[in-house]
């Protein structure tokens, strides 16, 4: 049982950077793998990145590899998404989520979701 709150979204020019943060409540943060998903209006929610419980393994969708980095600080109950070289097609609402499982690309694996933060990239 965790509550997640995203922050760090905003408006940025193409080629710029943003760092999203997701703060988790409770004392069981380290028991969950964490993921980032995004959704543009009219589109399905899509997987972006995930990290396992210890931070030793990460996963990315192909379109963000080399540009985005997911990390976590279990002492601070926080997961981050560093986004560099942003493109207009990255524009979406970004959500963090917590999963007790190992199939981290599937949205159905995640039990808890934040409210989302808007990222807008202008050309």
pLDDT tens per residue, range 24-42: 997 788 899 999 999 999 9
Residue with tokens 């109950």: 77
For residues 53-67, average pLDDT: 96
Question: In this model, does residue 94 exceed pLDDT 80?
Answer: yes
Two tokens, residue 116? 């989302």
Two tokens, residue 87? 């493109």
What gap in Å lies between CA 123 and CA 116, rounded to an integer?
A: 23
Question: In this model, does residue 102 exceed pLDDT 90?
Answer: no
């Amino acid at each position: 049982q965790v509550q997640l709150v995203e922050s760090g979204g905003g408006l940025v020019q193409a080629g710029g950077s943003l760092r999203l943060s997701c703060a988790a409540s409770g004392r069981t943060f380290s028991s969950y793998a964490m993921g980032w998903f995004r959704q543009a209006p009219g589109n399905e929610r899509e997987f972006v990145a995930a990290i396992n419980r210890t931070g030793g393994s990460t996963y990315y969708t192909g379109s963000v590899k080399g540009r985005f980095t997911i990390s976590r600080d279990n002492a601070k109950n926080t997961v981050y998404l560093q986004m560099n070289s942003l493109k207009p097609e990255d524009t979406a609402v970004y959500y963090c989520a917590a999963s007790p499982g190992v199939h981290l690309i599937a949205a159905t694996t995640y039990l808890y979701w934040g409210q989302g933060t808007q990222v807008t990239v202008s050309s």
